[in-house]
A and B are shown apart, each in its own frame.
Chain A
Amino acid sequence: MNVHRRIAPFADRVLPLLATVAMLAALACIFLYVPNERVQGPVQRIFYFHVNCWWAAYLGFFIAAGSSALFLWRGGASYDRLAHAGVEVGILFCTMGLVTGPIWARPIWGTWWTWDPRLTMAVILWTIFAVYLVLRSGARDEPEISRYAAVLAVIGVLDIPLIMISVRLWRGIHPSVISAPANKGGLEDPRMVTGLLVALVAFSLLFLWLLWLRYEGLRLRDELHRLEDRMDESTR
């Protein structure tokens, strides 16, 4: 409770402001500072947001899996709420990643979509966590449903390492820009690295703010249901 009280003023007032400023700085950096990539031209600028969408999605799903594991181990509604909020925000960024990828692929690969291993794994990841949200779509969280959802989150997150290594493991066509050297499809200019890092900070802050908003919404909902239950008991 004390931790919550200490975080709340920062998360309610400072975090949205920081996220907005960082996002504006990222956009300025990407469109005004970072140079055009030699082969792809302006379309390559999608990369700076696309990669960070996936970063935020993975962050959300890892937080969800970690909190779910703690919920299964120790119990506690706050772990369950954090997991639920993590999945909701994670799936938003996962959807952004899945939408921006094909928009980049169309002018570069000549097709919107291909069943490349990494892309297929990414769709599987989205589906797993969409099922998680369907499981939790009831007005109230039944304890059994919470446990099933927690197990699903812990298992579902195992898809992320597979996505990461799929390019090397199955030799897909998805580029691995960050791990590749500059002369072999990596970031050829230091300004590109700066653009990516500024966007990384912006997406991390945006992620934290949205996570906080959803966590608070779920906490208030649970608090309200608890009060309703107490009233129902007292009127019986």
Chain B
Amino acid sequence: MSAPERFWFLFAAYGAIWVLLALFLMHIGRRHRVLERELRALEARLSRQAGG
């Protein structure tokens, strides 16, 4: 296998790591957004209870 061909494998390996890390961070971000939504729902319930 030639040197330029081997470089592709090197970039593929490092690229895969960054893609997986980005996907994980996106997954964390989505979970935090769900938490935020649940928190807002709870706040709304609280304010309804306080009002009525």
Contacts and interface: CB of A to CB of B under 8 A. Distances in A.
A45 B8 CA distance: 12
A42 B20 contact: no
A228 interface: yes
Interface in B5-39: 5-7, 9-10, 12-14, 16-17, 20-21, 24, 28, 31-32, 35, 38-39
Interface stretch (A59-67, A91-99, A186-194): A91-99
Contacts of B31: 217, 221
Contact of B28 (A206, A214, A224): A214
Interface string A37-75: 000011101100110010000000000000000000000
Given A224-B38, A231-B45, A235-B49, A100 B6 contact: no
Given A92-B21, A107-B5, A46 B13 contact: yes
B34 to A, nearest CB: 9
B17 to A, nearest CB: 5
Name B's interface SS.
helix
A210 interface: yes
A104 interface: yes
Nearest to A89: B24
A227 B3 contact: no
Name A's interface SS.
helix
Contacts of B16: 96, 99-100, 103
A167 interface: no
Contacts of A53: 17
A160 interface: no
A220 interface: yes
Contacts of A220: 35
Interface of B: 1, 3, 5-7, 9-10, 12-14, 16-17, 20-21, 24, 28, 31-32, 35, 38-39, 42, 45-46, 49
Interface of A: 41-43, 45-46, 49-50, 53, 92, 95-96, 99-100, 103-104, 106-107, 206, 210, 213-214, 217, 220-221, 224, 227-228, 231, 235
Q: Which 8 A-B pairs have the closest CB atoms?
A: A103-B13, A46-B13, A100-B13, A43-B6, A99-B16, A92-B24, A107-B1, A42-B10
